[in-house]
Structure formats: structure tokens, C-alpha cells
């Protein structure tokens, strides 16, 4: 089971569990979740990516490959106090999430959970730069959201 620290919702905790099971992960990973306002995420985006704009989610992986989340595989990322492997952080802009929820016509909980799943998949090595990778990542996102009964509303 993925352990979450920081600001998270019960739906994010369920999303972590579903992701863990669907991707057949093993061991005990831990992820920090940070809720940020527009100013904070814009500043972080500028400092970390040299992009001077507000974004909805940023992810900061601490791992370069996914293998069983145990001490021998991740010696430096292993936290002996929690007996988990710290795999990264996800920063979500709640203000931007609220705007997008309204724009897309679904709940804030759904949008915050989607952004969490998106960030989590980035930490686990998924990306959307290339079209084929984008398609794969999108399929994983939709599968996870479907398992949570949080599918996109049909327009």
C-alpha cells in the first residue's frame, strides 16, 4: 500500500491503493502530497522547471526506476522510521483544480484526485511528451479513475 503524507483527501488515498494494485507494485512506497496556492505553484514551477506560469500539478520523483519498494533496492530513499521508500512529492494547486473542475463540469474532488493520479504516474515513470507515451499514460489514468467511479462526464 502506498503511504501518503501531507495534504490529501480520502479519494487520493483510495486512488493510491487502486494505482498500487493495478500496476502490481510491491513493497511500501511513500509519497508526500502538498496542496499549494497559485503563487506557490508558480514560484515552484519557475524555480524547478524555469517556467514562469501557474500549473495544476507538479511531481518530483525521487526514484529513476520502479522496482519493489524495499530497503535493498532504495537504500537512500528508505525511511527506517516508517519502513517505507520515499518515492517523491506531488504538489497540487487547489485554486487551479477548482477552475478546471468548473470548466470541465465535474466535482473538485474528482479534479483533485485526477491531478493526484497524474502526478503519481509521473513519479512512477509515466510521461506524456511523446504521443504514444501520452496515450499509455492517459489509458492508465482513465482506468484508475474508472475503478474509483470518477470517469469523465460525456459532453
User: In this predicted model, what pLDDT tens digit does every residue of 52-92 receive, in sequence order?
Assistant: 999 999 999 999 999 999 999 999 999 999 999 999 999 99
Q: How confident is the model at residue 8 (pLDDT cuts 50, 70, 90)?
A: confident
Confirm whether 154 is domain-assigned: no
Total-model pTM: 0.93
Q: Which of 25, 38, 1, 23 is nearest to 139 (CA)?
A: 23
Q: How confident is the model at residue 27 (pLDDT cuts 50, 70, 90)?
A: very high
DSSP state, residue 138: H
CATH number at residue 134: 3.40.390.30
Q: What is the pLDDT of residues 96-119, one digit of tens each?
A: 999 999 999 999 999 999 999 999
| Distance, CA of 55 to CA of 118 (rounded, Å) | 13
| Distance, CA of 134 to CA of 98 (rounded, Å) | 24
| Distance, CA of 105 to CA of 32 (rounded, Å) | 28
Count of domains observed in the chain? 1
Torsion sign, CA atoms 85, 87, 89, 92: negative
- With pLDDT > 70 as the criterion, what percentage of the chain qualifies? 97
Q: Is the pLDDT of residue 13 over 80?
A: yes
Per the CB < 8 A criterion, the answer to whether 48 and 88 are in contact is no
Confirm whether 133 is domain-assigned: yes
Three-state secondary-structure class, residue 31: strand
Please compute the mean of the pLDDT values over residues 130-143 and round it to a whole number. Answer: 95
Per the CB < 8 A criterion, the answer to whether 36 and 91 are in contact is yes
| pLDDT score, position 153 | 64
| pLDDT score, position 155 | 47
C-alpha count within 13 angstroms, C-beta hemisphere, residue 99: 10
Cell 489514468 sits at which residue?
Answer: 141
Confirm whether 27 is domain-assigned: yes
Residue 33 belongs to what domain range? 3-147
Q: Which of 46-55, 71-80, 143-152 has the lowest mean pLDDT?
A: 143-152
| Distance, CA of 152 to CA of 45 (rounded, Å) | 27
Three-state secondary-structure class, residue 23: coil
| pLDDT score, position 5 | 77
Amino acid at each position: 500500500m502506498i503511504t501518503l503524507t501531507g495534504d490529501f483527501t480520502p479519494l487520493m488515498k483510495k486512488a493510491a491503493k487502486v494505482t498500487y494494485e493495478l500496476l502490481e507494485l510491491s513493497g511500501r512506497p511513500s509519497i508526500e502530497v502538498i496542496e499549494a496556492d497559485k503563487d506557490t505553484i508558480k514560484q515552484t514551477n519557475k524555480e524547478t522547471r524555469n517556467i514562469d506560469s501557474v500549473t495544476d500539478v507538479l511531481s518530483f520523483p525521487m526514484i529513476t526506476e520502479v522496482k519493489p519498494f524495499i530497503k535493498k533496492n532504495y537504500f537512500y530513499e528508505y525511511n527506517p522510521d516508517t519502513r517505507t521508500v520515499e518515492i517523491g512529492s506531488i504538489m497540487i494547486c487547489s485554486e487551479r483544480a477548482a477552475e478546471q473542475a468548473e470548466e470541465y463540469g465535474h466535482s473538485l474532488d474528482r479534479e483533485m484526485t485526477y491531478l493526484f493520479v497524474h502526478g503519481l504516474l509521473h513519479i512512477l515513470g509515466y510521461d506524456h511528451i511523446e504521443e504514444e507515451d501520452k496515450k499509455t499514460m492517459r489509458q492508465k489514468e482513465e482506468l484508475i479513475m474508472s475503478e474509483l467511479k470518477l470517469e469523465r462526464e460525456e459532453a
